């Protein structure tokens, strides 16, 4: 239980987190900083927000635990902005889906002002915005925490306990290992879903009139915010390129099996895929 | 309303169809032929099955409308087997997800014995078997009917009316056009979902411990029956290869944009994908 939690950027993740913190009584006071006045207005009289403001200094004053919930490309900037405002060495964490660059940058800019611990709750959605917020968004989801040699052990323990209290299953990985994992299990799937959708947009613009549930599921995440994903790809470009290159080789094996009428390989790959999916 | 509908092969689709026919009173009598005695036993006392038998002759006797619901590679064989058993020129249709080869073969073997109309209800599932049957499986789904020059117009009209009565939205396309469309909107997505799953099985066998909802949705159809899909791919190999080749080129464009840090192309493709998905 914290005296005050400050959430920066009340989008889908930030607002859902505030609701979850309130529902589970994890802070006596929840302060939220939003960039736009309309967002501040929308927060008025919410039980899960005791202070809504556009002012970073007002929002972070007295915070014991700060969660930066902005898109990945704004996180380092916000960390640098709050550094001179913080007192009492609070814990600062974030919800960015890439961790290497963010961790290096936030640790450098927050330096002695705060104790940074990177987090990545895998709880996004193709929907964005406070209006879709849900206090159960993090329930039963994986949340990475990404300590490195510089991470304060007490801050790590408290951040881990926080996500567990929110209902997530916490996995601890070094920032760069995290980025390699999510390149495979999250960013590559996103790019493939998106590539399939943009391919069909060219070849089958009328697909909506004869598409089954399979295509809808396979491309669901392609409806995610393009700007958000461009920023994620841009921060994890190296690992995503490695994953995509390797996947293209893998797909070529399947393509060759199809061309060669090698149904043994084809059946084996289909069975490997099924075995993997059945375990998820 | 038919006097008797005969359903051959009560798997997920066949049994669901029998339930739907019963629920909507589309036949006075539903006869079902199953290969295995256990399936016949499982059909005993079902309100949606008046005759269950392993005997094709008994099942097809007096049928006005026969639906072959077996996997695609068995459909031509079953059509050839029932041809000498049929009387009164019934309508014969099927639920196979590939139509060119099946239509040519079924029209040839049924010849003067029956009036064949190819159908493809896009209502599969990664689940198989009678135990998952659902009378609403076809509700609000697309169903292709695939007439060609040889198709009897009255049989086509009755088959179309049948699927509409079952709750599906009927789309009429020539068999080969159908195969080209489904190569894009169904078979390619299946192969990609499967390829992603078999790729991750090699690279991230532990993915289940840190995977989000996105990966689960993107790979859901990869859990489909490998043997069933091998048969589908084998019957639609030509169109699937063309679709897969074109997709690989498309993916290479994205891969090059990533390598060249061309975020303009990347953002454009992400936006094209989102626009397409939002319409589904």
| pLDDT cut 90: percent of chain B above it | 84
pLDDT at position B54: 97
**pLDDT over 90 at A212, yes or no:** no
- Lowest mean pLDDT across B42-46, B135-139, B167-171, B209-213: B209-213
Average pLDDT for A269-273: 94
Same domain, A27 and A132: yes
Please check whether residue A122 is in contact with residue A149, taking contact to mean a CB–CB distance below 8 angstroms: no
Handedness of CA B172, B178, B181, B186 (dihedral sign): positive
* A226 CB within 8 Å of a chain B CB: yes
pLDDT at position B124: 72
**pLDDT over 90 at A208, yes or no:** no
Distance from CA of A66 to the nearest CA of B (A): 24
Q: In this complex, do B207 and A184 lie within 8 Å of one another by their Cβ atoms?
A: yes
CATH of the domain at A231: 1.10.3660.10
Cα–Cα nearest to B162, from B125, B132, B119: B119
Helix/strand/coil for B147? coil
Same domain, B138 and B155: yes
Same domain, B239 and B169: no
* A198 CB within 8 Å of a chain B CB: yes
With a cut of 0.85, is the ipTM above it? no
Q: In this complex, do A218 and B218 lie within 8 Å of one another by their Cβ atoms?
A: yes
CATH of the domain at B158: 3.40.50.720
Q: In this complex, do A185 and B212 lie within 8 Å of one another by their Cβ atoms?
A: yes
Same domain, B11 and B146: yes
Would you place residue A128 in the very low, low, confident or very high pLDDT band (cuts 50, 70, 90)? confident
Which residue range(s) make up the domain with A219?
177-279
Q: How far apart are CA A152 and CA B153, in angstroms?
A: 77
* A279 CB within 8 Å of a chain B CB: yes
Q: In this complex, do A218 and B221 lie within 8 Å of one another by their Cβ atoms?
A: yes
* B55 CB within 8 Å of a chain A CB: no
Which chain A residues are Cβ-neighbours of B217 within 8 angstroms?
A: 217-218, 220-221
Distance from CA of A85 to the nearest CA of B (A): 34
pLDDT at position B126: 67
pLDDT at position B134: 94
Burial of B45 from C-beta contacts in 10 A (0-12 / 13-18 / 19+): exposed
Burial of B84 from C-beta contacts in 10 A (0-12 / 13-18 / 19+): exposed
What is the average pLDDT value for chain B, to the nearest integer? 94
Residue A116 pairs in a beta bridge with A92
Helix/strand/coil for B150? coil
**Token pair for B200:** 């991750």
Q: In this complex, do B230 and A266 lie within 8 Å of one another by their Cβ atoms?
A: yes
pLDDT at position A124: 72
Average pLDDT for B214-228: 90
Please check whether residue A94 is in contact with residue A119, taking contact to mean a CB–CB distance below 8 angstroms: yes
pTM given for the model: 0.82
Which element (helix H / strand E) includes A52?
strand A51-53
Same domain, B158 and B236: no
Q: In this complex, do B280 and A193 lie within 8 Å of one another by their Cβ atoms?
A: no
| Residue A252: partners with Cβ closer than 8 Å, 6 or more residues away | B248
Residue with the bigger pLDDT between B109 and A212: it is B109
Q: How far apart are CA B105 and CA B76, in angstroms?
A: 6
Which chain A residues are Cβ-neighbours of B211 within 8 angstroms?
A: 122, 142, 185-186, 280
Among B71, B199, B234, most A C-beta atoms within 10 A, so best to mutate, is: B199
Same domain, B116 and B215: no
* B244 CB within 8 Å of a chain A CB: yes
Domain end among A173, A194, A228? A173
Same domain, B99 and B42: yes
Average pLDDT for A97-116: 95
Same domain, A142 and A210: no
Helix/strand/coil for A203? helix
pLDDT at position A135: 95
Length of chain B: 280
Domain end among B150, B173, B196? B173
Task: State the Cα torsion A187-A192-A194-A195 to the nearest 10°.
Answer: 140
Same domain, B129 and B61: yes
Which chain B residues are Cβ-neighbours of A215 within 8 angstroms?
A: 185-186, 189, 280
Average pLDDT for A151-176: 97
Same domain, A35 and A156: yes
pLDDT digits (tens, 9 = 90+) for B62-81: 999 999 999 999 999 999 99
pLDDT at position B125: 67
* B142 CB within 8 Å of a chain A CB: yes
* A256 CB within 8 Å of a chain B CB: no
Q: How far apart are CA A135 and CA A18, in angstroms?
A: 8
**pLDDT over 70 at A272, yes or no:** yes
**pLDDT over 80 at A210, yes or no:** no
Same domain, A169 and A207: no
Tally of CB atoms within 10 A around A35: 15
pLDDT at position B248: 97
**Token pair for A270:** 């289909």
pLDDT digits (tens, 9 = 90+) for A147-161: 999 999 999 999 999
Domain end among A173, A206, A235? A173
Q: How far apart are CA A87 and CA A69, in angstroms?
A: 20
In this structure, are strands B142-145 and A2-8 parallel, antiparallel, or unpaired?
A: unpaired
Please check whether residue B196 is in contact with residue B218, taking contact to mean a CB–CB distance below 8 angstroms: yes
Handedness of CA B184, B186, B187, B193 (dihedral sign): positive
The structural domain count of chain A equals 2
Among A16, A277, A279, most B C-beta atoms within 10 A, so best to mutate, is: A277
Average pLDDT for A14-23: 97
Please check whether residue B247 is in contact with residue A197, taking contact to mean a CB–CB distance below 8 angstroms: no
pLDDT digits (tens, 9 = 90+) for B193-215: 999 999 999 998 888 777 778 89
Same domain, A118 and A19: yes
């Amino acid at each position: 239980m914290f005296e005050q939690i400050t959430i920066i950027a009340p989008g889908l993740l930030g607002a859902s987190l505030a609701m979850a913190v309130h529902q589970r009584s994890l802070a006596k006071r929840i302060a939220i900083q939003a960039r736009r006045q309309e967002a501040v207005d929308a927060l008025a009289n919410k039980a899960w927000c005791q202070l809504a403001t556009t002012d970073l200094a007002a929002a972070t004053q007295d915070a014991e635990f700060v969660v930066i919930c902005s898109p990945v490309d704004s996180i380092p900037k916000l960390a640098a902005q709050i550094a001179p405002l913080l007192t009492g060495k609070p814990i600062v964490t974030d919800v960015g889906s890439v961790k290497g660059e963010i961790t290096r940058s936030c640790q450098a800019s927050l330096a002695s002002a705060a104790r940074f611990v990177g987090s990545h709750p895998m709880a996004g959605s193709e929907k964005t915005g406070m209006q879709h917020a849900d206090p159960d968004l993090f329930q039963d989801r994986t949340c990475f925490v990404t300590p490195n040699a510089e991470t304060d052990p007490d801050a790590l323990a408290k951040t881990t306990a926080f996500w567990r209290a929110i209902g997530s299953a916490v996995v601890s990985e070094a920032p760069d290992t995290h980025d390699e994992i999510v390149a495979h299990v999250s960013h590559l799937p996103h790019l493939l879903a998106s590539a399939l959708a943009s391919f069909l947009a060219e070849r089958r613009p009328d697909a909506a009139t004869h598409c089954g549930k399979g295509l809808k599921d396979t491309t669901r995440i392609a409806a995610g915010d393009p700007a958000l994903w461009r920023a994620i790809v841009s921060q994890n470009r190296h690992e995503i390129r490695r994953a995509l290159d390797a996947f293209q080789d893998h797909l070529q094996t399947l393509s060759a099996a199809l061309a060669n009428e090698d149904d043994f390989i084809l059946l084996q790959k289909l069975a490997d895929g099924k075995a993997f999916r059945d375990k998820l």
